[in-house]
Amino acid sequence: MTFNLTFGRKEMNYILCHKCAGVLSGKVKNTPLNYCRCISGWIRGFEKSLTFEEAKQEQIQMAKSWIQLYKRQERDQSWIDKEEAIIAKLQK
């Protein structure tokens, strides 16, 4: 596993959880990225390393998937609102 660091810019590579798309490796401080939200989230070795923009797009797609699931399950709007807030934060 290698990390491509360029200080002062978001050039680090990230490894995301295969379940929730949260960051398992790399620093998310001062970025809109979210950490892994799974209780069993750790690097297993098959996850691909992503750039900041790729990681951001993966997290947006995962939030959209959660919204679709919550709508199918007829969950309370507050569940959907949380995912929409995540998308808005990532799209800034």
**Dist. CA 72–CA 15, nearest whole Å:** 29
Full-model pTM:
0.79
List, in sequence order, every beta strand (DSSP E) within 1-92: 14-16, 23-25, 49-50
Residue 92 reports pLDDT greater than 50: yes
| Burial class, 47, CB count within 10 angstroms (exposed 0-12 / middle 13-18 / buried 19+) | middle
pLDDT score at 35: 87
Under the banding of pLDDT at 50, 70 and 90, the label for residue 11 is low
Answer whether residue 13 shows pLDDT above 60.
yes
- Tell me which of 41 and 59 has the higher pLDDT: 59
Q: What is the mean pLDDT of the chain?
A: 84
Reference 21, options 60, 49, 72, 51; nearest CA is 60
| Average pLDDT rounded to a whole number, residues 54-64 | 95
